[in-house]
Structure 1
Amino acid sequence: MFGKNIKKIRSVHGLSQLQFAEMFDLKRATLGAYEEGRSNPKMDTVIKIANHFSIDIEDLLTKELTVNRLLKFNETITTSPAVPKKVKTEGIPCVMEGMKSDYLSALANDTEINLPVLTIPTISSENKTAFVLLDNSMSGISGLFLPKDIIVCEKTAVTNPITDGSLVVVAVKEDLLFRKIYFNNGKISLKANHSEFKDIEINTSDVIAIWNVLHIFQHTLPQENTLEQRVAILEGALALLNKNS
């Protein structure tokens, strides 16, 4: 059953003979001979294939494998042949370094702009925009956001309820601001975590667009002992002390 089974494995996983052969250091012609029953495989080849696809060696050699078995479906529940579903993914437009001016101009003039996209299977692209962080304005003890991190945001409106202290990206005439937002007497206050960045107060009429921050993708894995992170945490703590003093 070996030749019949590996042919079915290829079919289920959408692999050509050449692709499958290269995975296990075989020649395409050798694989073809296995599938047609003209040649028997070496045991180390059988073991490699069985381990790779998590199949029992005895089953691979002596039993006709079903599609359900290869897809790890419970055959006591489903009896109809199944095929793997293609995951539909859509791109989230991403504002990269050096694109801010062109992006703000497009927003202000309500025109289209070509942006690179992020494809994240678990996140819908509807009404989403991603931004690459360019500074350490929001680094600190309440959230360690560092340059090159990517935030994924959902577009909203200033008129929609936004809780004080929410993380937002606000587009104004000359800048994109990633801050915590607060409302005070019809005005918006945008606060950074880092002490070097002053609070910014603007009128709601100055806002071109606003996004709620939903997700963050860090450029590097967090490591508690890195100098950059320790400095950012200390500076953030000092900033909070200064604001509360």
Structure 2
Amino acid sequence: MTQIGSNIKKLRTVKGLSQQAFADLFNLTRGNISSYEEFRAEPKISVILQMAKYFGIPISSLLEKKLTVNEILNFEDYFKEGSEKVNTKNLLEVPFLSKSYIQENPENFEINDFPTFYMPNIYNANLLAIENNSLIPNPIDFNFEESSILFFEKVKVEILHTLQDNIGFYMNLNEIFFGRFHVDGKEIKLILNDWKEKKFQLNEIEHFWKLHSKYEKVH
């Protein structure tokens, strides 16, 4: 079990927020917050990411530590270089393809070179996080906000039957694009537009990803 429930309650107390006021920040209900604080449930990863970003708290600390008042009020100083390393044993390391990385490495998409961050290991999936931006070609019906973070899971044989009409991502060492999967019998294609598509082959399965979830900034 993580420390997220205790830390939500501590954050509310320090920031002077009621359960309802805290819930309103993240499009939740007062009942949601109550269940988190009483350890009857835990937030979805998309909600945890929103909380971490909103309060400027590292995700690993929000999950692993029992935060103190001083830590909440002084995160810039507390999480300086050389501070105590957080135990990442129960966290999932996720590669992150950002706009700045693409600008610096326009034709070198080696996933092992991507920066990474940690998130709760509550999904049995191999994930890749991508910052949506104009440098990645996408279909005409790709309705995601600029700079939203999209999480993709690596395609496996076991999920091929779920791909139809789902958003996908293709990546090899020098090419990337978002597309939509089309399944016709045993033929699977990731289609960008009328002129560009990639036919799925089992020997190239590591290049194909399926949309898993998304994170968008709370306005």
Tell me the TM-score range normalised by the shorter chain: 0.3 to 0.5
Using the size of structure 2 for normalisation, the TM-score is 0.45
Asked which structure has the greater RCO (Cα within 8 Å, sep 6+), the reply is: 2
Q: Which has the larger radius of gyration?
A: 1
